[in-house]
Structure 1
Amino acid sequence: MTEIRLVGTAHVSQKSVEDVRSAIEEFQPDIVGVELDRGRFIALTEEAAEPSVTEILKSGNFGQLLVQWVLTYIQQRIGAETGVKPGDEMLVAIEEAQAHQKPLAFIDRDIRITLARFWGMMGIWEKIKLIGALIYSLVSVEGQEIDVDEFTNQDVVSAAMEEFRKFSPRGAQALIDERDAYLAHQILMLGSRYERVLAVVGAGHIQGVQRYLDAPETLPPLPALTAGVKGLPWAKILGTAVTALFLLLIVAIAFSGVGFDVLLTALLYWIVINGVLSAAFTLIAGGHPLSAVTAFAVSWLTSLNPLLAAGWFAAIVEAKIRKPAAGELRQIIEAETFSEMRKIPLFRVVLVAALANVGSTLGTVLYFLFIFPVLGIDPAVVIVDGFSNMLQMIQGLF
């Protein structure tokens, strides 16, 4: 009969390192499964090949990438306070398994799939709250005393999981629930081949994984846990809607008879509001003045094209000027302060891309909110008169 033992760890806890070592010594498993995928294992043990700046810019996932980096930074800071690097307990499990000549299995879902599903499943409001919480964490983690060993106390862990679930239900599903199921799938597959299985997983997964191990029939199908997130392409839909709304506005003003100067003013405000906010957010990100000028120059146009983004163009200019070098991804991950992280050219390029897009989006929203009061016209009258006049002109032509 197969015997499975779970060891719950906190990723920056010295106690967890010792717990893993003791469990392998006492349990003498036939195989050790660790909560890593092969990519994270390589990142922990080897100098993994870093993506180029071009590859990062082509991916377009600037917000997702920043979230990943900030989460890594926060974990690094907690680890620095405790003297334990993130992943040390997994490395100990690997080293002990090798020392006892035990086979090793990587049982976690590919981190790229997890992050893609995590980001893709969250709604816009959840993403905004997450970014706000991360910004707060960047400040509060400095100098704060943290009892990391409490992270393995199941009562504390359960309370934290419930709070995260309230904060981001969809994010919790991708980051916790789905991985509980994936880990349980992998552990059960190991159990079908080995009699004694030791699985080293984060403390937050212990209860969820154990529930599935006790009732395997409740496990969701494995392919459903690794598939891409299917949903409406909201970014393209909203971008197309903005384009249609702007063209509708311009046509209505042009045919309403309010005057060419009003039409010209409406176009000018579109360029200025989009450009100024996109450029301002580029400078807030620490971007070069030329990057800000680029954001200003293109944002009015990119806001009308759902396939283009002002941040992408600003980031290209930033990369040409700052010239990120090889090895900077490792520097970002190992940065000791957020200020130090912001000085790294690669981080600044991605931050410029993300914040320039935020500024452009904000400019678009503010334009539609305030353009009619600024112009001093009644939108209902302009739209009705504009399209009525246009229809009369078309009828006259035929």
Structure 2
Amino acid sequence: MSRDPDTADGPVPDASRPPDTGADTGAGPAGTPRPSNERGEGSVRVVGTAHVSEASVREVEETVAEERPDIVAVELDEGRFRQMKGETPDDLDPGDLLQGNTVFQFLAYWMLSYVQTRMGDRFDIDPGAELLAAVDTAEELGISVALVDRDIQTTIQRFWARLSVVEKLRMVGALAFGVTDPRVAGVTFGLVVGLLLGPAIGLFGGAVGITGAVLTRVAVGALAGAVAGYLGSRAAALSLGGDGDADAPSDVTTLGVGAVVAVAVGAAVAVTGAGVAPIAGLLSDTILRAVGSLALGLLAGLVVGAVAALAIGALGVEAATDADDIDDFDPAELTDTDVVTAMMDEFRAFSPGGAEALIDERDAYIAHQLVGLREEGYDVVAIVGAGHRAGIEAYLEAPETLPPMDSLVGTAKSGGIPWGKIAAFGISAAFIAFFVLLAMAGVRNEQLLTLFAAWFLINGVFAAGLAKLAGARWRSAGVGGAVAWMTSVNPLLAPGWFTGYMELRHLTVNVSDIGTLNELLSDESRPIRDIVSDMLDVPLFRLIVVVAATNIGSLIASLLFAAYVVPAFAGSLDASITDLMIRGARESARIIWGAVS
């Protein structure tokens, strides 16, 4: 563009090269086409298309050829245009990918891309083919091209910022059901519930009758069940069909057999007490308490997940994301709306702000560009998704209703109370206060150092361990583990960022990774295990998994520290933690009062 696209005056067409050399992406007066009309007398024809419709491709080609406008404007930003044309490397900025909520914004963009790709596969056409057809036709006819859409990163960031916490959870859940089996999602939800419930049982189980003896039995039963479950799953795999056999059982079958065996053996040991005493004698009370409470939490979580999975299956929720639904679409009907906008219209019901960023703001942004071209005297054919057509045409008819351009660009801030930051500062303050008050209560430095060392060690082991399991290199996992204690104190930081930056010294991530992931996810004939294994070979997905695993490891370590390490530490003191905190608070208040008075 030869003018700043963020100004309200509107652009002149892209003209870094003469019109007869093809599409233009930069600025330069030498190649700017001459308007066909006097200033203020230009025209704009908006063509609404479906982004996965073959008919739309033909309509675009015919319209551009018949109209022969001065400029063909397309619903693309420069980054997406260059990616489609293959003109520039499509590496992602690692810093942008790892900062703050950018990972979540990128996941949302990936999921939307996946849905659109599935629709494109159904109709045997690449998503956005009509936009590329408009560009190619303009090149052949020597017509200039204007890229009039807002930068996709700006759009996704503003969309994400407008969502409330509940809306973000609902969106991620809806997208998860669209990618995986809803029953798998239900069980996964149960596992998450169990991991959070386990430490709570360790802390407060005694109040509801879950004594140390009960946890000991459950712990030994869980260990025995884990061994039996593994052996059972392997036996099922061998007896029902060996590895590599075409008739081999699915991962779900073998895991199901293993789970049944594990629960049966674990429950038998826990109820009868058989073999509990000798095994318990080999383990410390803290380990038994930790394993027992985690096992109870996971069992309760799996029950919740199983119930959710059964409910999802009984209600037929999976039908909403089944391929049959896509088969029900009539390509001719897609001329009334484009796929992404149709999907976002559903979000408008629970997030008007999110829909505004994704749809309404882009209508206004594109209209600004088209009004500017029309005022310059150009005849323009604009190729946009059909879902944007009505909004754009309304602005073209009444340009005075356009919002200021500066309200449509830049980084948006989340509305409402910043609960995340408040919680982060609260956790940091609580951690510092914990150690300060213990010191003021007279707890010896050696004991405090031991407690801090335990905090450092458990965070490091879990963060680094899960990062390594996710495929991180030893050095990357070690860096994430080394800083995990500090990032747990300040949740505004994340150990996964540090692990990710180390991994990026050996990985090159780019936008084409999204296409690779979409192809893998679209293959419904292969076992899930093989698909996940191949996905982990894609640099972008491996980076996301490593970052997430490091953060999850640190979170689990923090819960375990509070649930098991602190109570064990309290047993070595001459008073309870609560009494010591009160004593430390009184001593601190006495010193402060003496200083100010």
- TM-score bracket, normalised by the shorter chain, equals 0.7 to 0.9
Q: How big is each residue's C-alpha offset from its partner over 1:67-125, in whole Å with a ceiling of 9 and x where there is no partner? A: 33333333333323322112211011112222333322111112232233223333333
1:110 to 131, 145, 151: 151
Decide which structure has the larger Cα Rg and report it: 2
Q: Decide whether the 8 Å contact of 1:30 with 1:194 is kept in 2.
A: no
SS of the equivalent of 1:32 reads strand
2:483 to 298, 306, 309: 298
Q: Which moved more, 1:363-372 or 1:94-103?
A: 363-372
What is the match of residue 229 of structure 1? 412
What is the match of residue 11 of structure 1? 51
Query: Which ranges of structure 2 fall in alignment gaps of 5 or more residues?
Result: 1-40, 182-320, 522-530
1:187 and 2:370 matched: yes
Q: Decide whether the 8 Å contact of 2:92 with 2:510 is kept in 1.
A: no
Q: Give the TM-score taking structure 1 as reference length.
A: 0.80
Amino acid at match of 1:185: H
SS of the equivalent of 1:303 reads helix
Amino acid at match of 2:353: R
Q: How does 1:248-327 map to 2 (within 5 A)?
A: 248-256=433-441, 267=452, 270-271=455-456, 274-275=459-460, 278=463, 282=467, 285-287=470-472, 294-305=479-490, 308-319=493-504, 323-325=506-508
SS of the equivalent of 1:33 reads strand
Residue 310 of structure 1 deviates from its aligned partner by 0.4
CA distance in 2, matches of 1:235, 1:171: 19
Q: How big is each residue's C-alpha offset from its partner over 1:32-91, in whole Å with a ceiling of 9 and x where there is no partner? A: 210011221111102422437755666563333333333333333332332211221101
CA distance in 1, matches of 2:338, 2:129: 24
Residue 395 of structure 1 deviates from its aligned partner by 6.1
Residue 143 of structure 1 deviates from its aligned partner by 4.5
SS of the equivalent of 2:489 reads coil
The structure-2 alpha-carbon separation of the partners of 1:270 and 1:8, relative to structure 1 and needing over 3 Å to count, comes to: farther
Residue 204 of structure 1 deviates from its aligned partner by 2.0
Residue 288 of structure 1 deviates from its aligned partner by 5.5
CA distance in 1, matches of 2:576, 2:400: 62
Residue 200 of structure 1 deviates from its aligned partner by 0.9
Q: Which moved more, 1:30-39 or 1:363-372?
A: 363-372
Q: Which moved more, 1:177-186 or 1:17-26?
A: 17-26
Q: Which moved more, 1:1-10 or 1:379-388?
A: 379-388
Amino acid at match of 1:349: L
CA distance in 2, matches of 1:364, 1:213: 56
Amino acid at match of 2:540: L
Amino acid at match of 2:129: D
- The alignment of Structure 1 onto Structure 2 pairs a total of residues equal to 395
The structure-2 alpha-carbon separation of the partners of 1:240 and 1:346, relative to structure 1 and needing over 3 Å to count, comes to: same
CA distance in 1, matches of 2:114, 2:65: 33
The structure-2 alpha-carbon separation of the partners of 1:294 and 1:255, relative to structure 1 and needing over 3 Å to count, comes to: same
CA distance in 1, matches of 2:98, 2:510: 18
Amino acid at match of 1:138: V
2:118 to 72, 77, 88: 77
Q: Decide whether the 8 Å contact of 2:117 with 2:126 is kept in 1.
A: yes
Residue 328 of structure 1 deviates from its aligned partner by 5.2
1:333 and 2:530 matched: no
What is the match of residue 65 of structure 1? 106
SS of the equivalent of 2:142 reads coil
Q: How big is each residue's C-alpha offset from its partner over 1:258-308, in whole Å with a ceiling of 9 and x where there is no partner? A: 898996786577557755664576467554677555544431222224664
Q: Superposition RMSD on alpha carbons, in Å?
A: 4.0
Query: Which ranges of structure 1 fall in alignment gaps of 5 or more residues?
Result: none
CA distance in 1, matches of 2:563, 2:358: 36
Q: Decide whether the 8 Å contact of 2:57 with 2:130 is kept in 1.
A: yes
Q: Give the TM-score taking structure 2 as reference length.
A: 0.56
1:198 and 2:381 matched: yes
What is the match of residue 86 of structure 2? 46
The structure-2 alpha-carbon separation of the partners of 1:228 and 1:394, relative to structure 1 and needing over 3 Å to count, comes to: closer
Q: How big is each residue's C-alpha offset from its partner over 1:323-371, in whole Å with a ceiling of 9 and x where there is no partner? A: 325x754243344114343321333123322443355456657877999
What is the match of residue 242 of structure 2? none
Q: Which moved more, 1:159-168 or 1:55-64?
A: 55-64
2:426 to 238, 241, 258: 241
Residue 201 of structure 1 deviates from its aligned partner by 0.8
CA distance in 1, matches of 2:46, 2:59: 11
SS of the equivalent of 2:180 reads helix
Question: How high is the sequence identity, in percent, across the aligned residues?
Answer: 40
